[in-house]
Structure 1
Amino acid sequence: MTAATSPFEADFDLITEQIRRHAQAAPQRRALVDPQHTLGYGELDALMDRVAASLQRDGLRSGDAIGICAASSTLYAAVFLGALRAGVVVAPLAPGVLPAAFANMLRDAGAKRLFVDASVAATTGPLADDGGVPRIALDGSEAGQALQSWLAPEGARPQPVSPEPAWPFNIIYSSGTTGEPKGIVQGHGMRWSHVKRGRNYGYGEDTVALLSTPLYSNTTLVVFFPSLAWGGTVVLMPKFDAVRYLQIAETERMTHTMLVPVQYQRLMARPDFDRHDLSATRVKFSTSAPFNAALKADVLKRWPGGLVEFYGMTEGGGTCILEAHAHPTKLHTVGRPSEGHDIRVIDEAGRTLPVGEAGEVVGHSPGMMTGYHNRPEQTRAVEWFDETGKRFIRTGDVGRFDEDGFLTLVDRKKDMIISGGFNLYPSDLEAVLREHPAVAEASVIGVPSEQWGETPVAYVVLREGQDLAADALREWVNERVGKTQRLSDLRLVGELPRSAIGKVLKRELRDLYVARPAG
């Protein structure tokens, strides 16, 4: 590792200042690459200054927020980083949601500026209730004021700001189909803890990190920020394509990457996979969805370099790490708690359970969220405190530790569906279904999908006397939800299976669907 290590020994430092140091030491070294542009560290640092100065000129102060909703690009990254330099909080927003949900997220964040591109403007459409937030077009399109005309002149420098660890860094939003988006506020201290962890994974000035997941996803950011803080190069793919990914990885001599399990599956299934030279790979990361042991074993066998799986929540309630290359007999697990992270398994009464017993997984870490933005009640609902008053975040997952300290996940207490690496909430889809006048009851489950890992399926009970085709109802729903949330199948049934206390037994629905799949 060639990067200076002394700053990374500090309990806290600023990622933006690390970038400044790299710009001063090696201004020509590549920092960011996308299909159209390359920014060296000197150019990136100067552009960050101009963004920060422009936001301050527009009256934004520390703690104010901006929204970014666009395809991954060097300019997206530069605006994100420049806002941080001004102490401004960034809300990276997913482009695949409905206009009303998008407006709700924008309003909830209190965004004072919105950075977009033409593709997002086309899919999001006009927002009548966006609060009149000024839009800046990263690509110079008619989606807003052109970025170049909005930016302060070359050479502009912002007023210095010194964020503290507890200051909000970004707000990551869950899907908001029902109009109730949930913003996860993460602090500067949390992001710095990810940077410090980078010493374990060979980050340095020679890093080439290939990222094909979007910049609005925490999945991407846990590799994006450490790569730049350590002085490496980040290559951004606006959209994942297995063929193109392998070409770029080979040509760029990729050393680090982050992929969700379904992407690993698609890559390993390529008939030409073994013909690509991936020998420069140092570490491959994965998170966000269940990663089956057989696929992990295939990746270890055929793809050089280490394989590291992160298990945790965007909320930051502790992380487990599986270094699969070092523990080939533990591929069925999600690893052991990260250094300084306290992960426990508790029962319904809140008692800590011993090794081997299954219960809800809760976690404490130095980088926990401060809370859900503007939602104190929802924040309290996911908190658990031990007998000493130590704060933990509930994961909603059920798991158990083995005698070696490795965590195995048994089930998800919450019935969240992870499709293509995106979190989908059945309650959101069920709420949309119940809006149809013919629907009496609805339950949405996640079922296995070779393409997406999981996919949402609905079981629906119609109101008495109603006659409606399942395909017609599915199409009605899919017109009202985001692209990633669309139902792959819908079944009409006479009744939903329920427990003695009236709870819908989703496991029985899953078993029924697996026994009688679509087609």
Structure 2
Amino acid sequence: MDGFDQTDIVLPEIWAGHARRHPDKLAIVCEDQQLSWGGFNAAMNRLANALLRAGLRKGERVAVLCSSSIAACVAMFGVVKSGAIMVPVSGMLTAEQVATLLGDSAASFIIASADLRHLVDPIAGRLESLRPDGRIGVDFSQDDWIGLEAFAADASGDEPDVTFTSKDVFSIMYSSGTTGLPKGMVHTHGARTYFCVSNGFEMRFDGGSRGLVTTALYTAGTWLVVMPTLFNGGTLFIQSQFRPETFLQLVEAERITHTFVVPSQIQMIFAGCGFEANDLSSLKMMLSAGSPLRPDIKARLIGIIGQKFFELYGFTEGSSTLLRPEDQAAKPLSVGTPLMGQELLAIDTEGRACSPGEAGEIVGRGPGLLREYYNKPEETRAAIWTDARGRRFIRSGDVGQFDAEGFLYILDRKKDMIITGGLNIYPADLEAVVGAHPEVLEVSVIGVEHEKWGETPVALVVLCQGADITAEALLAFANASLAKHQRLSQVTICESLPRNALGKVLKRELRAAYASARSGGAAA
């Protein structure tokens, strides 16, 4: 006899429970729109039931390409309640990059907002997996698109006839929208539930939480507030476009308790109205992630809001550390210690665990890790490190060291990744675009310091013999094919690129030379 063991805690059932217990409590607010928990759950159910009625099968992929709004939340989590796998897609990509992601995930439906449909229309005909009637507009209905309201109008608002286990797949989140081979990170319902529990516990969430997000809903950083707020039955506030003064006014007026901001947003506030003009006493947590916050700015911020500032370091695959408010003064340059239930180590080139103070590659394990990279078994295997006890850790590609008290310090960036405004940019994506020009012989893209965005990408290029293209023309050529957040700020023509004995370009030397040239006033 199996008995009564039902330990699979899944988010669709948690959300439904909040709707039953507190149907009239506010669930989501975005500017002049709002939904109660009863209304939010019913809206998710109607979409889920409409998808099932249209023939959607459990485990199919449904892409969501929406600007931040209540409708976007209904779309994302309504897809989950249908038993489908939700695939959030960045609105900052090009149409070709969107095509790559939709093709890789084999999405059968796409749900998009009107302002982003232009990324789908040119490529929809090439997507073999996309159903002929598979385009749903959250806020419009036109041509081959059916509006969300019409699609779900007569569908039931009751719970869908779908059962879940913790091993079912919740989402596939892509690390980047590349023109080559993107990596989709597969997370199960169990992993996403753990994500809510661990972050909620560590960062002071409860049923009274009022979370505010200003960054895009498709990013893992934004989910650090979205998911625990909804898991605990709190109220989520969405600012569709970040405006410093409005953000601070919203914190004060709505008594916001939790918010996520990237360093560039914090710097924008200090450069403008400042934090002092508004009453921020309701805050229990202000979280920053995505890139390091300058120590002087951090100290200034903590002096204003007090012991409420958290910093998170992690990889989207699912391992992370947290520098908690009580540790900020003693460990200002650290990224903290692992979250509840997680374990991170540094390993040397021989695969042995490093001693305190010894640098090595950061690896992590815990219940929130991805199951695999979607349809990429070789990449999945290559990312695994196994300890002496047979436990599997994921390799981060970051180099760091732990001190004697277990605090982690990052020494180098993941695979030379560039972080601009809290968004990840992979140099290889940009190098592929620049290198496609027939007059380019070699190219290397590096991140350089930027006062507002943290970092900005710069391309260092060696031209073919006899080439006469200018740096300005090459910059225009590249940026025409890049997503907004990927666009290069500068192209510099070089005679050669520094390499090691194996022929690998030494990006660290390029960054140092570029920084030296800028500080000396010379052209890079």
Q: Which TM-score band (shorter chain)?
A: over 0.9
Q: Normalising to structure 1: TM-score of the pair?
A: 0.94
Residue 437 of structure 1: how far off its partner (Å): 0.5
Q: Normalising to structure 2: TM-score of the pair?
A: 0.93
Is 1:488 the equivalent of 2:484?
no
Q: Which residue of 1 aligns with 2:241?
A: 239
* Structure 2, unpaired ranges of 5+: 1-5
Please give the root-mean-square deviation of Cα atoms over the aligned residues, in Å. 1.8
Q: Which residue of 1 aligns with 2:3?
A: none
* Structure 1, unpaired ranges of 5+: 1-9
Q: Which residue of 1 aligns with 2:471?
A: 470
3-state SS, counterpart of residue 396 of structure 2: strand
- Identify which of 249, 259, 264 aligns with 1:257: 259
Are the equivalent residues in 2 in contact too, given 1:48–1:81 (CA < 8 A)?
A: yes
Distance in 2 between residues matched to 1:263 and 1:499, nearest whole Å: 38
Distance in 1 between residues matched to 2:329 and 2:97, nearest whole Å: 43
Structure 1 residues 305 and 135, CA, compared in 2 at 3 Å: closer, same or farther? farther
- Identify which of 45, 57, 64 aligns with 2:41: 45
Are the equivalent residues in 2 in contact too, given 1:15–1:225 (CA < 8 A)?
A: no
Distance in 2 between residues matched to 1:496 and 1:21, nearest whole Å: 59
Q: In the alignment, residue 91 of structure 1 is paired with which amino acid?
A: V
3-state SS, counterpart of residue 177 of structure 1: coil
Q: Which residue of 2 aligns with 1:270?
A: 272
Distance in 2 between residues matched to 1:327 and 1:420, nearest whole Å: 22
Q: Which residue of 2 aligns with 1:193?
A: 194
Query: CA deviation digits over 1:376-407, x for unaligned, max 9?
Result: 11111211111222111111111000111100
Structure 1 residues 136 and 413, CA, compared in 2 at 3 Å: closer, same or farther? closer
Residue 272 of structure 1: how far off its partner (Å): 4.0
Is 1:225 the equivalent of 2:227?
yes
Are the equivalent residues in 2 in contact too, given 1:53–1:152 (CA < 8 A)?
A: no
Q: Which residue of 2 aligns with 1:416?
A: 417
Structure 1 residues 176 and 323, CA, compared in 2 at 3 Å: closer, same or farther? same
Distance in 2 between residues matched to 1:90 and 1:125, nearest whole Å: 20
Q: Which residue of 2 aligns with 1:5?
A: none
Q: Which residue of 2 aligns with 1:7?
A: none
Q: In the alignment, residue 264 of structure 1 is paired with which amino acid?
A: I
Structure 1 residues 97 and 222, CA, compared in 2 at 3 Å: closer, same or farther? same
Q: In the alignment, residue 151 of structure 2 is paired with which amino acid?
A: W
Residue 158 of structure 1: how far off its partner (Å): 4.8
Query: CA deviation digits over 1:135-171, x for unaligned, max 9?
Result: 1110124372111110052644354322212211111
Query: CA deviation digits over 1:315-366, x for unaligned, max 9?
Result: 11x2211103444111100001122211110111111110000011011111
Of the structure 1 ranges 164-173 and 284-293, higher mean CA displacement relative to structure 2 is found in 284-293
* Residues 7-406 of structure 1: pairs in structure 2 closer than 5 A: 12-123=8-119, 125-127=121-123, 128-131=125-128, 132-133=130-131, 134-142=134-142, 144-153=145-154, 155-197=156-198, 198-304=200-306, 306-316=308-318, 318-406=319-407
3-state SS, counterpart of residue 104 of structure 1: helix
Distance in 1 between residues matched to 2:186 and 2:202, nearest whole Å: 26
Distance in 1 between residues matched to 2:111 and 2:419, nearest whole Å: 27
Q: In the alignment, residue 464 of structure 1 is paired with which amino acid?
A: Q
3-state SS, counterpart of residue 454 of structure 1: strand
Q: In the alignment, residue 252 of structure 1 is paired with which amino acid?
A: E
Distance in 2 between residues matched to 1:399 and 1:331, nearest whole Å: 15
Residue 433 of structure 1: how far off its partner (Å): 1.3
Residue 304 of structure 1: how far off its partner (Å): 4.4
Structure 1 residues 491 and 510, CA, compared in 2 at 3 Å: closer, same or farther? same
Residue 288 of structure 1: how far off its partner (Å): 1.8
3-state SS, counterpart of residue 457 of structure 1: strand
Are the equivalent residues in 1 in contact too, given 2:212–2:225 (CA < 8 A)?
A: no
Report sequence identity in percent. 39
Residue 34 of structure 1: how far off its partner (Å): 1.0
Distance in 2 between residues matched to 1:278 and 1:156, nearest whole Å: 38
Distance in 1 between residues matched to 2:30 and 2:127, nearest whole Å: 30
